[in-house]
Chain A
């Protein structure tokens, strides 16, 4: 093959006038920042498992831990005991701190989403229009307003029954989310999936769960490189709309790349004799702390269904 000379424009320095910069209030690099944040959260979870082996929950035998925590989620979902839910959330906070989970992480991961999602969702439920009942606080009364399509109720109050229901939803959600976070932040994902396999979850589902976590990392890295690759060649400026258009196009390209990778992964699995059977490790030895944990779960269960029902919170 005869080599061609470099094009003439490439043999000289560019004297092109680059596009003028205009400043905008619109957020920049949000995609990159989001990817970095996801990466930081995944890495932090991984680190907290690996670096805090002496934490309270990290010391527990995984089967015992998973069984115990799933039981507690069930207790939280079924109980009618508000005191139990308050106590359970306090215990979860204590267990998180004893498992070297930072207080800030706990609030950001649990109470922030609970406040913004569950809290806002249950807010209408506390008023008498949605949950009728004994008034706790009257916002207005004896008001008459009637329009063509809408008649305003004469009274708007916050009801005891509404507040109680809202508290149940919030505390149940916080407890479930808290336990899920404790489980993830104190147990290696590979161990968690092995426990699930041991408990009879289908091999194919466990394999997918196991690989998903690993490949979320891989694809995250690929996607971050993808963004860097583009950034390195983004010589000029781009509008917000072209950035959004790129993200849309990129998602489809990226899905195609993941599909190709998944095909390769399938081939790699098959070439190494994968038959769909998942190997799950035998149980680890049980220690005194595991029996203590089991006893604590039993006590919690008893309390949830037979505990004190006549304390001040029920007078709401």
Chain B
């Protein structure tokens, strides 16, 4: 599926305050409705890139254009724009604990719709729809912090979906989850993509790549894009996967 340009990254770099490079000269275009998978070893900058795409941190060099507008700290100070941007882009963090900050699951899911200005009954409807969809209706009044890892991840996803964003960014969403929870997340992501949502997902798990990605971006230890292409092309390039620590050289290819 291809559509209008959502993101355009030109020579984008990011350095921490310690001057350590997290991203170096990233050039990337992402179209509406695409499923982009970011692959790369630990510390290559996947999460940083996702935070930049979510407008949470800002490039130190280069430009990021999203929805036809240049994204910078100053641009996000324009509340008229930032409100619309936050509605359009949802970010599911790797660590669900840092994303769940309300006292009950129901409040957590209603947080976005209420902030958007929806009436209470509309916000509640959205929350209960999502509780049912995510099969966590029985947890509505529980504290998010007392849930299992899989349940927390479901609540985190439901909380983001409640704002009905156009772009969904997932940072290693299947990390540490059991196979059933992993399968649920993959199916949900594909369901959402079929409705036209743009998906940007970071992971190490190569076995999911073919069924969840239209295009794969590989980041290297040098914090640069080292390869970009169709899932089958990337996965068949064993030298690339070894060079980027995505497979163990001692493992025999299947």
A residues with a Cβ closer than 8 A to B are 1, 3-7, 9-14, 16-19, 21, 23, 28, 39-40, 43, 47, 222, 225-226, 228-238, 246, 249-250, 253, 256-257, 260
- Interface members, chain B 173-206 (any A CB < 8 Å): 187, 191-192, 195-196
Give the shortest distance, in Å, between A228 (CB) and chain B (any CB): 5
Known: A16-B116, A233-B112. 13 other contacts (CB 8 A): A4-B132, A4-B133, A5-B133, A10-B130, A12-B195, A13-B196, A16-B118, A19-B83, A231-B56, A232-B54, A232-B86, A233-B159, A235-B112
Docked Cα-Cα span, A7 to B163, in Å, equals: 13
- Is there an interface contact between A233 and B86, defined as CB atoms closer than 8 Å? yes
Say yes or no for B58: interface residue by CB 8 A criterion. Answer: no
Question: At the interface with chain A, which of B37-45, B61-69, B95-103?
Answer: B95-103
Among residues of A, the one whose C-beta sits closest to the C-beta of B134 is A4
- Is there an interface contact between A1 and B117, defined as CB atoms closer than 8 Å? no
Q: Which A residues touch B86, using CB under 8 A? A: 231-235
Give the shortest distance, in Å, between B129 (CB) and chain A (any CB): 4
Say yes or no for B135: interface residue by CB 8 A criterion. Answer: yes
- Is there an interface contact between B126 and A7, defined as CB atoms closer than 8 Å? yes
Say yes or no for B22: interface residue by CB 8 A criterion. Answer: no
Docked Cα-Cα span, A256 to B80, in Å, equals: 35
Give the shortest distance, in Å, between B139 (CB) and chain A (any CB): 15
Ranked 9 nearest A-B pairs via Cβ: A7-B129, A236-B115, A229-B99, A225-B98, A19-B117, A21-B79, A232-B91, A235-B116, A14-B164
Q: Encode B93-126 as 1/0 by CB contact (under 8 A) with A.
A: 1010111110100000001101111100000001
Say yes or no for B74: interface residue by CB 8 A criterion. Answer: no
Among residues of B, the one whose C-beta sits closest to the C-beta of A225 is B98
Q: Which B residues touch A19, using CB under 8 A? A: 83, 116-117
Q: Which of B77, B101, B103, B135 contacts A230 (CB 8 A)?
A: B101
Say yes or no for B250: interface residue by CB 8 A criterion. Answer: no
- Is there an interface contact between A18 and B117, defined as CB atoms closer than 8 Å? yes
Q: Which A residues touch B126, using CB under 8 A? A: 7, 9
Say yes or no for B70: interface residue by CB 8 A criterion. Answer: no
- Is there an interface contact between A7 and B17, defined as CB atoms closer than 8 Å? no
Q: Which A residues touch B161, using CB under 8 A? A: 10
- Is there an interface contact between B83 and A228, defined as CB atoms closer than 8 Å? no
Q: Which A residues touch B195, using CB under 8 A? A: 6, 10-12
Docked Cα-Cα span, A259 to B19, in Å, equals: 33
Docked Cα-Cα span, A305 to B164, in Å, equals: 74
Give the shortest distance, in Å, between A24 (CB) and chain B (any CB): 10
Q: Which A residues touch B225, using CB under 8 A? A: none
Q: Which of A21, A23, A226 contacts B83 (CB 8 A)?
A: A21
B residues with a Cβ closer than 8 A to A are 17-18, 51, 54, 56-57, 77, 79-80, 83-84, 86-87, 89-91, 93, 95, 97-101, 103, 111-112, 114-118, 126, 129-130, 132-133, 135, 145, 159-161, 163-164, 166, 187, 191-192, 195-196
- Is there an interface contact between A237 and B95, defined as CB atoms closer than 8 Å? no
A-B contact pairs, 17 of them (CB 8 A): A4-B133, A13-B196, A16-B116, A16-B118, A21-B79, A43-B17, A222-B97, A231-B56, A232-B89, A232-B90, A233-B115, A234-B115, A235-B83, A235-B116, A236-B115, A249-B103, A253-B145
Among residues of B, the one whose C-beta sits closest to the C-beta of A261 is B97
Among residues of B, the one whose C-beta sits closest to the C-beta of A223 is B98
Among residues of A, the one whose C-beta sits closest to the C-beta of B101 is A230
Q: Which of A7, A18, A253 contacts B101 (CB 8 A)?
A: A253
Q: Which of A7, A14, A39, A253 contacts B133 (CB 8 A)?
A: A7
- Is there an interface contact between B95 and A225, defined as CB atoms closer than 8 Å? yes
Q: Which B residues touch A236, using CB under 8 A? A: 83, 87, 114-117
Docked Cα-Cα span, A239 to B166, in Å, equals: 26
Among residues of B, the one whose C-beta sits closest to the C-beta of A22 is B79
Q: Which B residues touch A250, using CB under 8 A? A: 101
Give the shortest distance, in Å, between A247 (CB) and chain B (any CB): 11
Q: Which of A47, A229, A231, A235 contacts B87 (CB 8 A)?
A: A235
Docked Cα-Cα span, A246 to B102, in Å, equals: 9
Give the shortest distance, in Å, between B224 (CB) and chain A (any CB): 24
Give the shortest distance, in Å, between B217 (CB) and chain A (any CB): 21
Docked Cα-Cα span, A235 to B163, in Å, equals: 7
Docked Cα-Cα span, A50 to B49, in Å, equals: 28
Q: Which A residues touch B89, using CB under 8 A? A: 232
Docked Cα-Cα span, A257 to B145, in Å, equals: 8
Known contacts A4-B132, A234-B115, A236-B115, A18 near B56 by CB under 8 Å: no
Give the shortest distance, in Å, between B91 (CB) and chain A (any CB): 4
Q: Which B residues touch A222, using CB under 8 A? A: 97-98
Q: Which A residues touch B87, using CB under 8 A? A: 14, 16, 18, 235-236
- Is there an interface contact between A235 and B54, defined as CB atoms closer than 8 Å? no
Docked Cα-Cα span, A238 to B159, in Å, equals: 18
Q: Which B residues touch A39, using CB under 8 A? A: 17
Q: Which of B101, B103, B115, B191 contacts A238 (CB 8 A)?
A: B115
